[in-house]
Each structure stands twice: as structure tokens, then as C-alpha cells.
Amino acid sequence: MSTLTSPHRVTTSATGGPTLSIVIPMFNEEDVLPVLFERLCSVLDSLGESYEIICVNDGSTDGTAQMLAKAHDDNERVKVVNFSRNFGKEIAMTAGLDLASGQAVVPIDADLQDPPELIGAFLEKWREGFDVVYAVRRQRDSDTKMKRWTAARFYRVINTMSGVPIPANSGDFRLMDQRVVRAVVQLREQNRFMKGLFAWVGFRHAEVPYDRPVRAAGKSKFNYWRLWNFAIDGITGFSTVPLRVAGYVGILTALGAIVYGIYLIMRTLIHGVDVPGYASLMVAVLLIGGLQLVVLGVIGEYLGRLYEEARKRPLYIVESSLGFDETSP
């Protein structure tokens, strides 16, 4: 589409990009898209800054792609990337960050659980000189008790284990200066625990408190199994403590076995051969066998990840895109 004939001509800054890039990963979000664009665009228009909205369609199987094509036709600031299949939210967000040309970039969920109204407050803090401004949930009322409890445990565990503190009660919803984004997109690991990557790059940050609403429409794409896997990704991606713990458990068990062995030898020497002992044998065999499997499993987790990284596959495959010039993918 020609820039000149469009009713929404993009005003670009000296760097060639708009002031603000909004990045939205989307997977089967047709129910929420109309409300999303309406609310997001009205907030962005009221800010009076130039902007682009990068929608990453993460292999949706519903009408998301068609709705995005329509949205791009109506407003050329809406840019669209269609993945060749579902790659997961973290990778979809990465693709959006790769393509974002704004001086400040805001990743946001499609379901309006990240209220776009906060973007104004983000911009203010950014202007004060903070490179990263992230939204922190005041309370987690919109989550179930179970999700709140598991989330709290998860942050406890990951923050004791990993070297970089990951703020609890913050999500991916944040504003990042373009230089922070450039730093984040240099990290090309397959295991993309974005909150960890954001924390790892550092920079000066500020917080904006907010209340997280429930999903505007549609269903959550994350069930407990997916969240569990997400937690394992987070921990293994940012800490090798489990490997060390596995080693310690091994050492302790070996020490226990040595002590018990000495005791058995002494007892045989003093009291002679004593045939019963089935129970203690069984316990020792099962315990040590079980421990070995656990430790092997932990090592396997890391080995598997090493294998994934070693293949050096691209993070995602783009099937088509709308609104980017030829120089971008």
C-alpha cells in the first residue's frame, strides 16, 4: 500500500522508525481482536506519538490471519507477521522485537490483560530516563488461588537459584528502549524464558503498579502442564543449581552407602554371617536406583537443551508478512 494515499500516514522520527512499537503475539485470538484494536488504537492516538503495531500471528488456526490482513488494510501502521506454524508465545514475541523499529518497544498480550492505558505512564518514565519500565501487578485477584500459589513458589525457586533477580508479579508487559531491545534480540537461545532474558540484559528500570484484569474474550492458551514446562524452561535456562544439587545428592548417598557398608562388615566380623537382610537390601537397591534415575533425569534436561541449542536452528519461520519493506524479513 502506498504511504501517501493512506489516511494513516506514518510520521517517522530521525532514526527512521516511529516513536513507539507495540508487539503483540497472537495465537487463535479472533474473539478478542476487534476490542483489542479499538482500545489499543484509541489509547495510542490519544498519546499523539507516531507508532506501529506489530502483530505476530503464531500459527493461528482460526480467523486471526484474515482479521489481521483486514486490520492492515484499514490502518497501515498495523504490520503483520504470519508464522508457518505455532512456535509459542516467547518466540512470537522475539520475532516482533526483531522487527520493531520504534525508539521504544512495548510487548503486550492480545487479550487485554495488559491494559494499553498504562503505555502513557510507561512513556513518562521512559522520558525521565529509564530504559525499561515494567508493569507490576498490585494483586493477583484475576488468577485462581492455585495459580497464585504456584506462581509465588516459582519465583521463590527461580530467584534463589539464578544469578539475575527476576521481579515477581511482573509479566512481559513493559516498555523497553530500542537499545534494550537490541540487546535482548542478540540472545538467540532456543529456550526463551523472556522474563529471564529481560532481566539478564539489565539497564535502568522503573516500575508501574497496576491491577491485572481477566481476559477480555477467548480462552487462556496456558494450562498447568504448559505452565509447568514453562517453569522448567525458566529454571534450567537461568540456573545450573539443579545439576549441582544432583551432584550433592549423589555424594551424600555414596557417603551413606560407605558408612552402612562399614557397619555391615564390622557386624559380620563380630557376629558372623547373618542371612536375613532382605528388607534392608530392597530398601537400599530401590532408594539408590530411584536416586540415580532422578539425577539422570536432571542431567538429561540439560543435555536435551544443549542438543537443542547445538543444532542452531532459526527460532521461527515466517510464512508471510504485511507492512514491512523489502529490507526486513
Residue 9: CB partners within 8 Å, gap ≥ 6? 3
CA–CA separation, 169 vs 159, rounded Å?
Answer: 13
Cα-based distances in Å from 303 to 103, 236, 298, 318: 38, 11, 9, 28
Sign of CA dihedral 307, 311, 316, 317: negative
Would you count residue 98 as binding ligand UDP (CB under 6 A)? no
Q: What's 327's DSSP letter?
A: T
Helix (H) or strand (E) run with residue 152 in it: helix 145-161
Per CB under 6 A, contacts with ligand UDP among 274-303 are none
Nearer to ligand UDP, 222 or 224 (CB): 222
Would you count residue 76 as binding ligand UDP (CB under 6 A)? no
Helix (H) or strand (E) run with residue 207 in it: strand 205-210
Q: Please give the grid coordinates belonging to residue 1.
A: 500500500
Residue 98: CB partners within 8 Å, gap ≥ 6? 185, 329
Pick the stretch among 4-12, 66-74, 220-228, 304-312 that binds ligand UDP (CB under 6 A). 220-228
Opening angle at CA 300, ends 298 and 301, nearest 5: 65
Question: Of these partners, ligand UDP, Mg ion, none, which one is at the site of residue 137 (CB under 5 to 8 Å by kind)?
Answer: none
Question: Of these partners, ligand UDP, Mg ion, none, which one is at the site of residue 26 (CB under 5 to 8 Å by kind)?
Answer: ligand UDP
CA–CA separation, 198 vs 209, rounded Å?
Answer: 18
DSSP, residue by residue, 154-192: HHHHHHHHSSS---TTEEEEEEEEHHHHHHHHH---SS-
For ligand UDP, the binding residue among 85, 156, 222, 255 (CB under 6 A) is 222
Question: Of these partners, ligand UDP, Mg ion, none, which one is at the site of residue 221 (CB under 5 to 8 Å by kind)?
Answer: ligand UDP
Q: Coil, helix or strand for 247?
A: helix
Pairing of strands 132-137, 170-177: antiparallel
Nearer to ligand UDP, 77 or 137 (CB): 137
Would you count residue 221 as binding ligand UDP (CB under 6 A)? yes
Q: Please, what is the minimum distance in Å from the beta carbon of residue 244 to ligand UDP?
A: 31
Would you count residue 29 as binding Mg ion (CB under 5 A)? no
For ligand UDP, the binding residue among 52, 76, 98, 111 (CB under 6 A) is 111
Nearer to ligand UDP, 128 or 141 (CB): 141
List, in sequence order, every residue forming a beta bridge with 83; answer none if it has no partner. Answer: 318
Q: Please, what is the minimum distance in Å from the beta carbon of residue 171 to Mg ion?
A: 9
Pick the stretch among 124-132, 190-198, 219-227, 292-300 that binds ligand UDP (CB under 6 A). 219-227
Binding mask 169-208 toward ligand UDP (x if CB under 6 A, else -) reads: ----------------------------------------
Per CB under 5 A, contacts with Mg ion among 108-127 are 111, 113
Would you count residue 224 as binding ligand UDP (CB under 6 A)? no
Number of residues that bind Mg ion (CB under 5 A): 2
Which residues contribute to the site for Mg ion (CB under 5 A)? 111, 113
Which residues contribute to the site for ligand UDP (CB under 6 A)? 25-27, 29, 58, 86, 88-89, 92, 109-111, 113, 215, 220-222
